[in-house]
Amino acid sequence: MEISNILKNSKTIAVLGISSNPNRTSRMIAEYLDYAGYKVVGVNPGKPIIEGMEVFSKLEDIPFEIDIVNVFRKSEDIPQIIPSVLSVKPKVLWLQLGIENDKAVQPCIDAGIKVIQDKCIKIEHSYYL
């Protein structure tokens, strides 16, 4: 599945590591995706609401299907999130620009989850759509 098809066929995006600071990249990209028509929810412990956006403490708390888990965490933190990703089984695990960890994401690939690493979802969206 190429990136353009992923973006065209996805409806729900969970932004893991969303910030309550409107000047942080994770927040700006979440707002961009929301404006682009996606249902966007945040994942950040301790942040129940970020200006009208629903935020969950962990991926497993989201009560509906997730198409894309968009990750804003350091590459070395990726192994910690993999069990949650495998638990919710999104169609795509998307690691933002500068984030990659081939070894950590292999269980997701083995489980049939498409993995995109080191790419900005906003840049790709503006390029393809």
3-128 CATH, one of 1.10.10.10, 3.10.20.340, 3.40.50.720, 3.40.50.150: 3.40.50.720
Q: What is the pLDDT of residue 53?
A: 85
Q: What are the tens digits of pLDDT across the range 17-58?
A: 999 888 999 999 999 999 999 999 999 987 666 777 899 999
Q: Report DSSP letters for 25-51, one per residue.
A: HHHHHHHHHHHTT-EEEEE-TT-SEET
Read off the pTM: 0.94
Rounded CA gap, 91 and 108, in Å? 10
At 112, the amino acid letter reads G
Q: What are the tens digits of pLDDT across the range 51-90?
A: 778 999 999 999 999 999 999 999 999 999 999 999 999 9
All structural domains of the chain with their residue ranges: 3-128
